[in-house]
Amino acid sequence: MPSVDYTQQGFTSIRVNIDKGVAIVTLCRSNQRNTFVEATVADIVKAYDLFDRDDCVRVVLMTAEQDSPAFCAGAELSKGWGSLFTPEVEEEGDTFHRDSGGIVTLAIFRCRKITMVAVNGHAVGVGITGLQLPCDIRFAWAGTKLAFPFVRRGIAPEAASSYLLPKLLGNSRALSLFLTGATVTPDSPLLSGLYHTILPNREDVFPAALALAKDLAENTSMTAVAVSKALVWRGYDNIEEQHVLDSRAIRVLATGGDANEGATAFMQRRPPKFSDAPGSLKQWMPWWREVAVVPRKAKL
């Protein structure tokens, strides 16, 4: 049983239910094409923080209602762009704010569990940048229409997409998508590699994603997942330092119960029963803030 009652959290733009270690997040503003509003921000930030801390949740899967006309049709613009930003505040002499799409991106990105999305409808703007790019694994319906329309609306890419999209696709394809604002489908060469699976039938997207989510929830170690995600996104930009970091990660994990259970289960030819929680890594993670990993000088 989950340690959190997700039906009592006051969510209005999403529904959350737990199925065998998988937290299913369903966007439920179908009559409004799941446009991005303040409630969306508040609900997703709260939910993903809870998922991160709930050891009964191993995988998070976001989707839209099957009959929704869109997965997410982008930002709700009836009140103008101003509603998409936090109020400006003063900090250390500078005035700044945060775009709400980026706040959602960071909430999903920082979740230490496996994050997945089943895109079963059209997605525009923040429907891609904030709800898809920060996820680990993406499924999509082949008929989905996708667009990054920012330059055609007089604004710049938001939701930290100017960081994530080039990292995921490379600068050339990211610029093609950003600067043309073209509408594409998941199988476009410009999106090559972004989606784990693209399915021809809309109704098959969520079941296929859920099947993988349940498999991962049952057969992966939460601590190994958290470390693997951090190594990819928080690593170094040269092979020597990354080698030191990889080595340290293996050593830290090897002292945990999951590593012993993984080896034992393999030898006994049975499914593993992993029980370590990400909280057990607090002595080491986040190393990018607390641990200085400096490689020894090579002997010439």
Considering the domain boundaries, does residue 262 fall inside one? yes
Q: Phi-psi bin for 168: left (phi > 0), alpha (psi -120 to 50), beta?
A: alpha
Element (DSSP H or E) covering residue 288: helix 287-290
Distance CA 47, CA 65 (A): 18
pTM above 0.85, yes or no: yes
For residues 175 and 48, state if they share a domain.
yes
Residue 295, domain member (yes or no): no
Residues 254 and 175 in one domain: no
The whole-angstrom separation of Cα 103 and Cα 131 is 11
Question: Which tens digits make up the pLDDT trace of 142-157?
Answer: 999 999 999 998 999 9
Say if 297 falls within a structural domain. no
- Predicted confidence (pLDDT) at residue 38 exceeds the cutoff of 70: yes
Query: Are 259 and 152 in a shared domain?
Result: no
What is the number of structural domains in the chain?
2
Give the pLDDT mean for 175-181. Answer: 97
One domain, residues 277 and 150: no
Same domain, 127 and 146: yes
Last residue within a domain, chosen from 218, 246, 273: 218
In contact, 243 and 297? CB cutoff 8 Å: no
Average pLDDT over residues 6-30: 96
Residue 142 and residue 197 in one domain: yes
The mean pLDDT of the chain is 90
pLDDT score recorded for residue 222: 96
54 assigned to some structural domain: yes
Report the range out of 19-23, 151-155, 292-296 with the highest average pLDDT.
19-23
- For residue 115, CA distances in Å to 25, 121, 132, 147, 217 come to 11, 19, 10, 22, 11
pLDDT confidence bin for 204, thresholds 50/70/90: very high
Residue 296 lies in a domain: no
In this structure, the answer to whether residues 186 and 57 fall within a common structural domain is: yes
Residues 41-92 have pLDDT tens digits of 999 999 999 999 999 999 999 999 999 999 999 988 666 555 566 565 555 5
Residues 55 and 130 in one domain: yes
| Residues 110, 91 contacting (CB under 8 angstroms) | no
Residues 281 and 167 in one domain: no
Domain boundary (159, 193, 218) is at 218
Domain around 162: 6-218
Q: What is the pLDDT of residue 3?
A: 75
Residue 299 has pLDDT above 80, yes or no: no
Last residue of a domain, one of 203, 218, 233: 218
110 inside domain: yes
Domain check: are 82 and 132 in the same one? yes
Task: Pull the structure tokens for residue 119.
Answer: 């895109």
Q: Does 292 have pLDDT greater than 60?
A: no
Query: Is 300 inside a domain boundary?
Result: no
CA 88 – CA 150 distance, rounded (Å): 22
Q: Clarify whether residues 225 and 209 are in a common domain.
A: no
DSSP H or E segment with residue 108 = helix 100-109
CATH number of the domain residue 272 falls in: 1.10.12.10
Assess whether 74 and 160 both reside in one domain. yes
Taking only the tens place, the pLDDT of each residue in 249-280 is 999 999 899 999 999 999 999 999 999 998 88
Is residue 102 domain-resident?
yes
CATH number, domain of 70, equals 3.90.226.10
pLDDT band at 96; cut points 50, 70, 90: low
Q: What is the pLDDT of residues 223-249, one digit of tens each?
A: 999 999 999 999 999 999 999 999 999
DSSP run (H or E) holding 266 = helix 257-268
